[in-house]
Amino acid sequence: MRVALIGISHKTVPVSLRERFAFSSEELPRALARLRRAVGNGVVLSTCNRTELYYVTKSGQAKYDQAAGLLAAMSRVPSDELAGRCYFLLHEDAIRHLHRVAAGLESMAVGETEILGQVRTAFVAACEAGCANPLLTRLFHAAIRAGRRARAETFIGRYAASVSSTAVTLAKAILGDLSDRTVLVVGAGEAGKLTAHSLSKAGACRMLVANRTYGRAAQQAALLGGRAVPFAWLPQALEESDIVISCSGAPSFVIREEMVAAAMARRDGRPLVLIDIAVPRDIDPAVKDFLGVHLYDIDDLQAVSTANLRKRRKELSKVEAIVDEEVSRFLAWWHSLKVIPTITALRGQVEGMRQRELAKTFARLPHLAEKDRESIEALTGAIVKKVLHEPLVHLRDRGENEGYLEVVRDLFGLDEGRADLAAAS
């Protein structure tokens, strides 16, 4: 069995296409059910910067066209729109990629901490949907361990910038000091909370928080000394604000063209900075044509993230080493699966011989006391263990070599081991 991965990310497609492949928490169960019907297992990792399907397939059955078609069908997007724009990785490449993702090496903001929680959430959702088989379970545990180690054993997290904090960095670069600016955060989910805290640390003192559930907006605003805004009052809030950072998680635009047009008409020429870090996007891209409106989406944060990468570059090699170690550890376990049927068959064959010979011996020596029988049983068991020790060590060390296993099976006539190995592969 092999791990396969089909996906898109900020490295391969713009947000205008990524948003069409994003799965919200409400949509994820449907996507997992579709994946389970198609291949019997799988994990869906969907974040603002990537949508990836991980699944286990039999050797030789994983094909790019089939995988891309599955991703397109799950997202209800014509498959021709994906042509040449997604990556398809098999086994070791897919395994390494997931470890790199969990360690923050594949993020737009390299080293950011949010992705590790997103990987864990994706795996838990797959478990709840009955889609995580033993191989995927072992893989995701290994990748999550790599991500935890990267942040515990290196300083990659100290210099890391999340998407939310990068958006705040962009706002400061455009407008300078935020202490005399009014900032509106749209969304009180996890991204909204991180954004609001980053703004507070950056010195923003006049903060508005809007959310579809007013109670959550009020709770977040109270924590930061800001003011909650009912969702229906967004047009008025746009008129009042200098900066809007939107991350609502809504399935369609929450800040529409006509709302911005009305707000700009009453702003006396004051510029309005809109930063949309939601996927799907929250702000209608048509508003960028208005005079005085400066709109940035999540892809525009790439330049800011690249500049911050210089501070983290020294830590990257350390994180890469951790990824290498954890990938090797996982692959060693996976290779051992190929050896287990042969080892089991060899042990079973020799033990069977021992038991048959003991039975013959005890039948010829019925006068033996029970204590003597136990001594002979222990002696023969110890001899078998010692005789098998070196062969089994070599099997474990060289088990990934199919030719070597074949020779061992032929030498000992392990037909059962051959059948089991074929089934495992």
Maximum C-alpha span of the chain: 112
CB 211 within 8 A of CB 192: yes
Find the angle CA(86)-CA(141)-CA(421) to the nearest 5 degrees: 85
The CA distances from residue 220 to 187, 207, 359, 422, in Å, are 10, 10, 77, 57
Provide the 8-state DSSP code for 202: T
Show the tokens assigned to 110.
């390299």
CA angle 124, 128, 129 (to 5 degrees): 115
Q: Are 17 and 8 in contact (CB under 8 A)?
A: yes
Minimal CA–CA distance to 342: which of 422, 280, 287? Answer: 422
Q: Who contacts 403 (Cβ-Cβ below 8 Å, separation ≥6)?
A: none
**Taking a C-beta distance cutoff of 8 angstroms, is the pair 139, 3 a contact?**
yes
- Is 48 catalytic? The answer is yes
Torsions phi, psi for 46 (to 5 deg):
-125, 115
**Rounded distance, CA 417 to CA 341, Å?**
5
Residue 340 host element (H or E)? helix 302-364
**Distance separating alpha carbons of residues 223 and 218, to the nearest angstrom:** 9
Query: What whole-number distance in Å separates Cα of residue 335 and Cα of residue 252?
Result: 46
Show the tokens assigned to 173.
């670069």
Question: Any residues with CB less than 8 A from the CB of 262 and at least 6 apart, and which?
Answer: 235, 239
Q: For residue 246, what are the β-bridge partners?
A: 186, 276
Q: Which sign does the torsion angle of CA 339, 343, 346, 349 carry? A: negative
The residues assigned a catalytic role are 48
